[in-house]
Chains A and B, each alone.
Chain A
Amino acid sequence: MTAFRYCRFFFALCLLPAGLGLQQLSGAADGRTVIRYWDKWTGFEADAMRAVVDDFNASQDRIFVEFNSVSQIDRRLMLATAGGVPPDVAGIWAINLPVYSENNALTPLDKLARNAGINPDDYIPVFWKMCQYRDHLWALPATPSCNALIYNKKMFREAGLDPDKPPRSIAELEAFNEKLTRRSASGRLETIGHVPEEPGWWNGLWGYWFGGSMVEGDSRITATSPENVAAYRWVQSYPERFGADRLLALRDGFGNFASPQNPFFTGRVAMILQGSWIYNFIANYAPADFEWGVAPFPSNDPDHLRDVTIVECDLLVIPVGAKHPQEAFEFMRYVNTRGPMEKLCLGQRKFSPLQECSPTFFEAHPNPFIRTFLELAKSPNARPAPAVTTWGEYNADMKNAVTRIWTGAATAEEALADVQKRQQKNLDRRHERWHRSEPVLTKSWSEQ
């Protein structure tokens, strides 16, 4: 390469970002304000959101939304906001809302929502509540979900159980478990009815099905409450009944969740706790004749504690420092009207967070159990993960506690006591941080 060509190549490289910048501006060439929107979606879920964004752009002569699918959005958003170049709208998980708002990463939406005439009564209460923290509104819902007992009807029939009568209590679940579990001559576990570790995505929150809570108010950790102890004694009963080594060996033979080797699809586990999205995985990976059912995951006291579920929600937020908050909110409001919201939720195969739902939504919905999930989300026992800033660490400690219980390294009481001690200290420390920044932050939030 001659020197001249080398220089030309180098300059072309330098101009590349500028070229991309120009392309970004081209959306605004017709004078519209460009809104940068980041979300975590990929695949068909991103396509569903993109279709809604396209509709919005077609309906607009003032605003143009540019949608980007961003991996590891929680970390990227934090770094982009710290660097002063956040997107105008971002999609985060509700569990991240407390830590984002308390660290001054988000724009409060109270005034914008009031002016736009957003009515809290339009939403299923639990999802509206998830948009709030410390008396301010920080987000509008995107797509919600909740979890339930998903069971394999064929395995039920083979074990002599009625496939239309799923277990209603933990005691019943365990009675079914015994019938559904098969061992080889040498004692190896071949199939199992239920095991909390498969897939174990909510290992920190089993207490919910025993009437427990993880926090009281916003400052007291309640990992060692009697309800939680009962829940984790139940977890402890698994290695005691089945043998820790046998369970480890069984689990090591399980394939990836998102694959045809998922043990639930291959008939090695009969009952799992999973979210409404399981439909998509069954459609993609389970055998064609796979028969499944959905029911509320059983609690320890079905007469008093019914329809327990953990709700989750994807939220739309406006990061602090966003250049066009007004326009960003206009887009968020559009997504939260019935038509676009149903289009989005149908595309992502979820239910809508809005109270009212058009009848055609259910007719068009591919998931045959979507109503069951929706009813569960409306239950008084539908609860999100605790809204505290330390939930990330708390949950990691709970998962570790389950591993310790599982391997016999600690009893349920010991493991929970360790979590309690550590996490109370952690939360106290975070409260100190909050009290330092509170006067400034609450004043600036009220003014916005």
Chain B
Amino acid sequence: MTGQERHNLRVGLLFISPWIVGFLVLCAYPLVSSVYFSLCDYSVLSPAVFIGAQNYRDLAADEVFWTALYNTFFFAALAIPLGLLVSLSLAVLLNFEARGRGFFRTVFFLPSLVPMVCLAVLWQWMLNGELGLVNSTINPVLDVFNHALGTHWQAPNWLAEARYAKWGIIFTVLWGVGNAVVIFLAGLQDVPRHLYESADIDGASFWQKTLHITLPVISPVIYFNMIMGLIGSFQVFAVPYVMTGGGDGPGRSLLFLATYLYQNAFDYWNMGYACAIGVILFAIILLLTLFATKLSERHVYYAGK
């Protein structure tokens, strides 16, 4: 390393030092210490006592934890693909050269500016079984069917029935896909025009162009949005927490890993147990991200490579 390089390294490190310090103090230390506390009986105010893997053994036998794990996977398995599909479709539509395009882009982005808590409170009322806007839209349609077919279909009490409660949360979260739409739009605008032009000359249809040009070119953006969706879905907390008034929904149908972690840490004084849940959540997200990265090697196209 020459003198100049050493100098550059020092200056470079100096300039990123706020980030390094922030990372060490606010990320690395809590991460390492929560792994340690997950092996302890720790109530925050008394000193932590090392108990080995007891918290993990207790978790394995705790049916509420399994419920939370199932709910989290259920939610992620639906919310991630649906979120990608909805945001990508919206982005493709908003990318058309149509009149009022700017207006529509704004309209679809607006909901994601609403804070999570307001969003949750708003949808709590939208999904109300008796008075909600959602059901007063669905029920007249169902009435037409009921009349014609002699059936007795009725829209569910979204948040009050264990079977439908998670769907209620999924609708709510889908409403805030604006951010992903913007990222997709940026990706779509980066697709080289000449590819479409040559496809047009070859007589390719809209679907053929989407399938063989658009999707491959924006695959890194899809990959990015998928990872973000993965992390967000597994950490879902604010919306169900607010919608259930700090509880866990009918029959614990809205108890997610992050909620259970929070309850144990701050309501039940089981910080060690909460840390163990945190470590498991971390491991799940890490493994799924690694898996997605592995998958992306074959399916994601980078122009620079």
- A-side residues, CB < 8 A to B, are 75, 78-79, 81-82, 99, 103-105, 248-249, 251-253, 320, 389-390, 392-393, 396, 399-400, 403-404, 407, 409, 422, 429, 432-433, 436-437
Contact = CB atoms under 8 A, between A and B. Distances in A.
Given A99-B269, A252-B157, 13 more contacts: A103-B269, A105-B45, A249-B130, A249-B157, A252-B128, A320-B45, A399-B247, A400-B248, A407-B161, A422-B64, A433-B43, A436-B41, A436-B49
Nearest to A429: B58
Nearest to B266: A75
Contacts of B49: 433, 436
Nearest to B250: A403
28 contacts: A78-B45, A81-B45, A82-B45, A99-B269, A103-B43, A104-B45, A104-B46, A105-B45, A248-B161, A249-B129, A249-B130, A251-B160, A252-B129, A252-B131, A252-B157, A396-B248, A396-B263, A399-B247, A403-B251, A404-B251, A407-B162, A409-B162, A409-B251, A422-B63, A422-B64, A433-B46, A433-B49, A436-B49
B252 interface: yes
Closest 7 CB pairs of A and B: A252-B129, A253-B130, A252-B130, A103-B45, A103-B43, A82-B44, A105-B45
A82 B37 CA distance: 15
Contacts of B160: 248, 251-252
A409 B251 CA distance: 8
Name the prevailing secondary structure of the A interface residues: helix
A82 B268 CA distance: 15
B267 interface: yes
Contacts of B128: 252
Contacts of A409: 162, 251
Contacts of B162: 403, 407, 409
Name the prevailing secondary structure of the B interface residues: loop
Interface string B240-252: 0000000110111
Interface residues of B, number: 27
B192 to A, nearest CB: 41
Given A252-B160, A407-B161, A409-B162, A78 B268 contact: no
Contacts of A81: 45
Contacts of B250: 403, 407
A393 B45 contact: no
A422 B67 CA distance: 14
A78 B266 contact: yes
Nearest to B131: A253
Contact of A392 (B44, B130, B131, B268): B268
A248 B45 contact: no
Contacts of B267: 75, 392
Contacts of A392: 267-268
Contacts of A78: 44-45, 266, 269
Contacts of B44: 78-79, 82, 103
A339 B296 CA distance: 74
Interface of B: 41, 43-46, 49, 58, 63-64, 128-131, 157, 160-162, 247-248, 250-252, 263, 266-269
Contacts of B157: 248-249, 252
A429 B41 CA distance: 10
Contacts of B247: 396, 399
A407 B251 contact: yes
A437 B44 CA distance: 13
Nearest to A400: B252
Nearest to B42: A433
A403 B248 CA distance: 11
Given A392-B268, A400-B252, A407-B161, A248 B43 contact: no
B136 to A, nearest CB: 12
A320 B58 CA distance: 31
A103 B251 contact: no
Contacts of B161: 248, 407
Contacts of B269: 78, 99, 103, 389
B271 to A, nearest CB: 9
Contacts of A251: 160
A78 B250 CA distance: 29
A349 to B, nearest CB: 25
A334 B99 CA distance: 73
A400 B49 CA distance: 31
Contacts of B130: 249, 252-253
A400 B252 CA distance: 7
Contacts of B252: 400
B124 to A, nearest CB: 11
A393 B251 contact: no
Contacts of A433: 41, 43, 46, 49
A424 to B, nearest CB: 13
A103 B46 contact: yes
Nearest to A406: B250
Q: Which of A251, A320, A393 has the most CB of B within 10 A?
A: A393
A386 B157 CA distance: 34
Q: Which of A248, A252, A436 has the most CB of B within 10 A?
A: A252
A92 B15 CA distance: 47
A169 B253 CA distance: 35
A403 B157 CA distance: 14
A123 B139 CA distance: 58
Contacts of B45: 78, 81-82, 103-105, 320
Nearest to A79: B44
Nearest to A320: B45
A81 B269 CA distance: 13
Nearest to B43: A103
A399 B64 CA distance: 14
Contacts of B58: 429
B268 A400 contact: no
B242 to A, nearest CB: 14
